[in-house]
Structure 1
Amino acid sequence: MNCLEFKRLALSDPHNQAHEFVSHSHACPDCLKYVGGVKQMDADLADSLEVKVPSDLMARLKLNQELANEAEEDENSSSFRFAGKFRGYSIAASLAIAVFVAGFIASNQFGLNQQIDSDYQSLLAGVVEHMREQPMTPVVDAAIANRDAKTLLASYDSDMKLKYLSNLQFTRICPMGQYRGLHATLDTPDGQVTFAYIKGDSVGQLLDTGYEGMITRVKPVRGGNLIILSRTNSALQQADQQLEDAMYWDI
């Protein structure tokens, strides 16, 4: 088992106990560190999805209901003035708990937004890291590249299809940081463009940014995210339009 095969398996099953997988991790410090990082990311993701509800939240809501019930009973048996005063206390308690619950929800929503923001960076980092490991991207005949793309997508994401692209130069399923996705290149009049389709949860909205000397775009699409990297903005725009016209889904 070589390092690339190990990383691909580590992404899908970091706790694999197969003999070759375990032996390679013991013999290769870099791969051992890599699979440890994947396990830590899985643990961090699990922690981020766990919403901890304050233990006394239900007790506070129950108290609010009891106060409202007592106020209604008291209104029926006491003077209007006294009942109104008690009802004021009940309303105040309701407002306090409403503010508390709203704040609790807002704080968790903020946490969710922070997670989404960090996903942009991790998506870009994964693709750029992979490009750095393979700085020389092979270029093949467009017919071969399209045939490969069709075959690979059938096994990777059967719903997503790609129309024939005469300027498609290369396509392969590759490990990219904590992800695994379709890695490909397009030839444009303004230079080569690298793009990746990573299946999974989509980010919130399209984001253009500069990253490690390149112009980049992270774009939510059906079933995942499209990451485009270019040296020029014009090449990025051309590639994005071509991919938008070529990508479709059988659902």
Structure 2
Amino acid sequence: ETLLDLYCGTGTIGLSMAAQAKRVIGVEVVPSAVEDARKNAERNHITNAEFFCMDAAEAASMLRQRGEYPDVVILDPPRKGCSGELLRTVVQMSPKRIVYVSCDPATLARDLRILADLHYIPQELTPVDMFPRTAHVETVVLLSKGEVDSKKIRVEFSLEDMDMSEFQDGATYPQIKEYVLEHTGLKVSNLYISQIKRKCGIGVGKNYNLPKSEDSRQPQCPQEKEKAIREAFKYFGMI
């Protein structure tokens, strides 16, 4: 079977399945990760895998236009989940199975609802507690195409008691700090992030990091850190 691995990172998931696949296609937007994925394939003597450095939605659309129809699609998005455009493009490829690896139950619930409306129904769901003693959980869901039989399948999600504040602006401050540090080696403060949020017209809360008095002076974010923070905003879909 042909396997399409979207948000493939350094290729770990797709490469682990290469021995059971006819062909593996990996897609990742971070250039250094794509380079590492290709090196990982070479080091493990895997010759049936290729990797593209592209946005997942653009790559899925490009592959569909090329007539690529994968049998299995793996989705492993960041916490913000998948866009509706991407999910619709994947469904248009008519894969036999979709495997969704999620790091947040809230966006997973949203995307499973979209996929269910497009006739891809959850068959198995396994939560994985990769971060003990925290509120975070990974979830792996197997979906296949079919009609819902309400007598056999009933899936309910309640988001009322979940803290959704961290999704309002696309990413939390710690996530932005981690991204900037990983990709540039720079450390940025909450103050700098809030300053650039304001420049981009993103809400930061009523009194977040405001000076205590009109005479107070705050350090301004250096240009190189502003550039790095803006790149993080783009990655998380905030701008």
TM-score, scaled to structure 1: 0.24
Structure with the higher fraction of residues in helix conformation: 1
Which protein shows a greater Rg? 1
